[in-house]
Structure 1
Amino acid sequence: MTETQETGIDPVEDTKARVLAAALPNVVFDGWTDRAIADAVRDCGVDPGLARLAFPRGGIDLALAFHWANDAALARRMAEADLGALRYSERVARAIEMRLELVAPHREAVRRAAALFALPIHAADGARAIWHTADTIWTALGDTSEDVNWYTKRATLSGVYSATVLYWLGDDSPDMEATRAFIDRRIGDVMQIEKVKARFREHPIGKAVMAGPGRILSHVRAPGQGADDLPGRWRR
């Protein structure tokens, strides 16, 4: 029995964490590649077979492991943070800032990951990663949406976060001042859209639309509300 089995630690997850830690210094030079994994496996002395299980698709899985690890760290940090004195929009802004602060020491690794996820072959992985970050933030903020709003909140935040990351990669201002201002502007834009949507719902035409064609949206349910593992469900 291995040491990780004796302690109850998943050997694949343990391998993933160790390889990622060993690979990060070299990603700056080698990118998120199979070579980065091979060098990390050699440096940290993990079993090559477990490494193949941990990263079956090679470099793209290594980049995703980096993203998931920082999302998990964000969830822990938000659980410990006192955001109660902030307005809701300010809490969202602070969550985005926290996520960037976590990866600030690895800016070049993030740049390399952004370039990798921009490739058409990996675009779906990139979209899934950004969505996961948005979901992490909304879940940590206590979002209780069970209808179509579950999707629209995450879709909107995904757009704000992805734009912010690209802006941040080129930001050399002290303490991310320019990026923080950029976040405030983007969230301000979203709030204006929400105000327009609220006025539309209160307008007679809007009420007619929501009672007619728009009623279809009332049947959409968030994941976890049904009896299966589909990414959502339709209520009859």
Structure 2
Amino acid sequence: MSETVDTSGQASDQAGANWADQAEQRVLDEALRLAPKAGWNNGLVSRALSAAGLSEAEGQLLLPEGARDLAALLSRRHDAAALARLQAFDVAALKIRQRIREGVVARLDAAQENADVLRPLAAFLAFPTNLALALRLTWESADAIWRWAGDTATDENHYSKRAILSGILISTLAVDMASGRASALSHLDARIDNVMAFEKWKAGLKPMDLASEMVSALARMRFGK
């Protein structure tokens, strides 16, 4: 006689996860609509929750860190959109510099879909208490691009590549916002040229170099200069 396996608990957990994912995206959609006027702050979270038909208690469950969690949701949405765009390429047919260039451009395109919230978001991330979050999210974006590009390094090069690409990503986005796409692509090509030599990739960036570049880029994104 076979045993009956009770899967009701698993189904309940899956339903709960699906509800949370869908609710987070609804709140993010409302936040994107409100942020150009409301700014990126915890007040935005409350207004977005209300607009999405959710209570403050549900908001605490979904977004315990408030506007910081919203920023992470948006960054990861942009990462997913960039990767979806990159599926159009035969990555094996591209040289490594082409892979990185296309990866950065795809991420720029994804961010520009919500161009009207990038300045208030940059202002929020520029607070000293949010700098670590900005660095982590940019690192995640760089990691996603490198993985799409086929990087399998597990030594120190794994980290140096992501540190360098993080700097390229944030600075190129800042130029894109301040001066337009043509200037951004010129900046991107110059940055890639500067780091393609193996020894420069291997050397990487010091943590404080990346933090300094992040602060400068966020300021440029915020003020458009």
User: TM-score, normalization: structure 2?
Assistant: 0.77
Deviation at 1:65, TM superposition (A): 1.1
Q: Are 1:117 and 1:123, in contact at CA under 8 Å, matched by a contact in 2?
A: yes
CA drift of 1:6 comes to 9.5
1:117–1:126 Cα contact (<8 Å) kept = yes
Q: For 1:1-236, list aligned pairs within 5 A.
A: 8=15, 9-172=17-180, 176-192=181-197, 194=198
Paired-residue identity, %: 29
Residues 91 and 149, structure 2, Cα contact 8 Å, conserved in 1: no
- SS at 1:10's partner residue? helix
Higher relative contact order (CA 8 A, sep 6+): 2
Q: Which has the larger radius of gyration?
A: 1
Contact 1:5 1:11 in 2 (8 A): no
Deviation at 1:165, TM superposition (A): 1.4
The 2-side partners of 1:106 and 1:78 are apart by 19
**TM-score, normalised by the number of residues in structure 1:** 0.74
Q: Give, in angstroms, the shift of residue 152 of structure 1.
A: 0.8
Aligned equivalents of 1:61 and 1:122: distance in 2? Answer: 11
Most deviating of 98-107 and 38-47: 38-47
**Contact 2:160–2:201 (CA under 8 A) maintained in structure 1:** no
Greater alpha carbon shift after TM alignment, 77-86 vs 36-45: 77-86
> For structure 2, which runs of at least 5 residues remain unmatched after alignment?
1-10, 204-225
TM-superposed deviation, 1:102: 1.0
Give the aligned CA root-mean-square deviation in angstroms: 2.5
User: Larger deviation: 42-51 or 128-137?
Assistant: 42-51
Contact 1:93-1:184 at 8 Å conserved across structures: yes
Tell me, in whole angstroms, the C-alpha distance in 2 between the residues paired with 1:86 and 1:38.
45
Deviation at 1:87, TM superposition (A): 1.9
2:93 is paired with a residue whose SS is coil
Counterpart of 1:57 in 2: which secondary structure?
A: coil
Q: Could you tell me how far apart the structure 1 residues matched to 2:129 and 2:201 are? A: 35
CA distance in 1 between partners of 2:64 and 2:77 (Å): 17
Q: Secondary structure at the match of 2:179?
A: coil
Q: How many residues align?
A: 193
Instruction: Pick closer, same or farther for the CA change 1:5–1:20 going to 2, 3 Å.
Output: farther
